[in-house]
């Protein structure tokens, strides 16, 4: 895959996942404090030891009747994000018929198909964002569409 295109995909996936994580953080704040408490939001929820996996478990406790498909999609988005964020070591074999590749951690013989992962991410991301935004709104959260006044 072209390195420039991979870089574009990588930044797009990571930026979109930051948005997802921000909505999850907002849901957690809204549930426990009935508003966004900036100190908690940034000091606690963005602490490097407060993993996304832990946030997801808290989210699952908050949602009374979770849509398990959407939660599975959220998990998948996290996994895809991790591929883009942490897999970059290209392997070049000096053999004919073996193109350079970033190996798939589950099967070293093949490369990660970043094109299909990107397409899958884009498909699932829109629905997950809508699902999470609806939860935030049901908890009484308010979404602003423009800059603060």
Long-range interactions of 120-126: CB distance < 8 A, separation 24+: 120/76, 120/80, 121/13, 121/16, 121/77, 121/80, 121/81, 124/73, 124/76, 124/77, 125/16, 125/20, 125/77
Q: Can you give the pTM of this predicted structure?
A: 0.83
Query: Residue 144: its pLDDT value, please?
Result: 75
> How do the domains of the chain map onto residue ranges?
3-138
Residue environment code for 57-94, b if the CB has 16+ CB neighbours within 10 A, otherwise e: ebbeebbeebeeebbebbeebbebbebbeebeeeeeee
CB neighbour class for 50 (10 Å; exposed up to 12, middle 13-18, buried from 19): middle
- Closest-CA residue to 18 (of 124, 125, 134, 145): 125
> In this structure, what token pair is assigned to residue 132?
């999470």
Higher-confidence residue of 100 and 37: namely 37
pLDDT digits (tens, 9 = 90+) for 38-95: 999 999 999 999 999 999 999 999 998 999 999 999 999 999 998 888 655 554 455 5
Residue 133 has pLDDT above 90, yes or no: yes
Asked if 10 and 44 touch (Cβ cutoff 8 Å), the reply is no
Chain segment 98-129, per-residue pLDDT in tens: 555 455 556 555 566 788 899 999 999 999 99
């Amino acid at each position: 895959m072209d390195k420039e295109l991979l870089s574009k995909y990588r930044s797009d996936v990571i930026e979109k996942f930051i948005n997802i994580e921000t909505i999850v953080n907002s849901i957690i704040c809204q549930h426990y404090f009935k508003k966004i408490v900036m100190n908690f939001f940034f000091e606690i929820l963005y602490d490097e030891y407060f993993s996304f996996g832990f946030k997801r478990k808290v989210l699952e406790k908050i949602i009374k009747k979770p849509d398990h498909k959407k939660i599975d999609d959220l998990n998948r988005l996290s996994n895809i994000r991790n591929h883009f964020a942490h897999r970059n070591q290209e392997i070049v074999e000096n053999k004919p018929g073996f193109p350079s590749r970033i190996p798939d951690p589950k099967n070293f013989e093949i490369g990660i198909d970043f094109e299909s992962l990107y397409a899958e991410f884009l498909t699932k991301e829109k629905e997950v964002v809508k699902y999470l935004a609806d939860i935030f709104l049901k908890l009484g959260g308010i979404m602003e569409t423009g800059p603060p006044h």
